[in-house]
Amino acid sequence: MNEEKYYQEIEHLIKSNEINKRARKLEENNDLVTTYWEIGKLIVEAQGGEKYAKYGNELIKKWSIKLTEAYGKGYDYTNLSRFRQFYLSFPILGAVRQYLNWTHIRRLLPIKDKNKRNYYINLCIKNNLSERELTREIKSNSYERLIDKPDKIDIITQPKYSITTDMKNPIIIPISQEIKTEHDLELSILANLDFFFKQLGDGFLYAGHQYKINDGKNNYYIDILLFNIKLNCYVIVELKLRSLKKEDKAQIEYYMKLIDEQVKEVHHNRTIGIIISKESDRFIINFIKSNDIIPLYYELQKAVIIKIE
């Protein structure tokens, strides 16, 4: 292995590590939001329920002193009060955990009008707003400037992604050579895109391969980028000629986040992902959406076709 190849191997490891660090931050945020909500729930229950929660400030003061001494100022009186308010404002966590981080939620908590608060939550969900963009919307009185305010605004849920009903079984990818590397698999799919798409389902369009994205520090390359006009979203395809690993999901979720932030338009649904991995003598297609993995099983038969079982 020459010097350049060593460098490429090192760079690959560093990039993978950076992806994993950023993806772990996303997972940590979901855990953080859930933890704060659970703390708020327990505080309310300890105070005797929602009806009596507002009279339980002394309990929060006592607990905040003990928790701050043990774990730091993140659990002081102000923050424990926020956690309680968080639970009272969102008794059903649902989409809040999925689409908002704690900085979004903290910015929304002072808004007492439920319709107004739900309006801004919906803006975040539909437009993938950052906390800074949300703050700008609030400061510009976006809700107040609505010409026709609905009587009731509910938190929206994104349309559920569905695998098209016209998917073929088995899915066959003609290949001209034995698949030994991820590059071989990529070339086989690229050489038969139209045939592959028609079996995967209607509405898939090719957007690029080794598609370059950048997070401001590093360049990353998506194996294959598709768009589905029926699902109205981008679809990332990553190829792994080995068993699926936890970091693969973290990697593709980070790519999905970058595509959502940099490529997708406001009217598009959130990006979904596909990881093609290999288990023994079969390939597995894993659909990634939100926190879910939907596996579909593919078999390699005589190094000629890939088949869904």
Paired strand residues for 10: none
CA-wise closest residue to 227 among 237, 213, 238: 237
CA-wise closest residue to 274 among 288, 258, 294: 288
* Residue 244 pLDDT > 80: no
Q: How far apart are CA 51 and CA 137, in angstroms?
A: 33
pLDDT, position 181:
77
The pLDDT tens digits for 126-152 are: 777 888 889 988 988 889 888 778 889
* Residue 159 pLDDT > 60: no
Rounded average pLDDT over 94-117: 87
Kindly state the percentage of the chain with pLDDT values over 90: 9
CATH numbers and ranges of domains, the chain: 3-139 (no CATH), 182-308 (3.40.1350)
| pTM, entire model | 0.50
Who has greater pLDDT, 179 or 156? Answer: 156
Give me 85's structure tokens: 């308010």
CA-wise closest residue to 255 among 276, 271, 232: 271
* Residue 169 pLDDT > 70: no
Peptide bond into 170 cis (omega under 30): yes
pLDDT, position 113:
93
pLDDT, position 115:
92
DSSP 39-93: HHHHHHHHTTSHHHHTT-HHHHHHHHHHHHHHH-GGGSHHHHHHHHHHHHH-SS-
* Residue 263 pLDDT > 60: yes
Buried b (16+ CB within 10 A) or exposed e, 132-164: eebeebbeeeebeeeeeeeeebebeeeeebeee
Q: Which residues contact 4 (CB under 8 A, 6 or more apart)?
A: none
Who has greater pLDDT, 193 or 100? Answer: 100
Who has greater pLDDT, 309 or 77? Answer: 77
Average pLDDT value over all residues in the chain: 75
* Residue 171 pLDDT > 90: no
Q: Which residues contact 300 (CB under 8 A, 6 or more apart)?
A: 179, 278, 281, 282, 283, 306, 307
The pLDDT tens digits for 36-92 are: 888 888 888 887 776 665 555 778 888 888 888 888 888 888 888 898 899 888 888
CB 259 within 8 A of CB 275: no
Query: What is the four-CA torsion angle of 208, 226, 29, 293, rounded to 10 degrees?
Result: -130
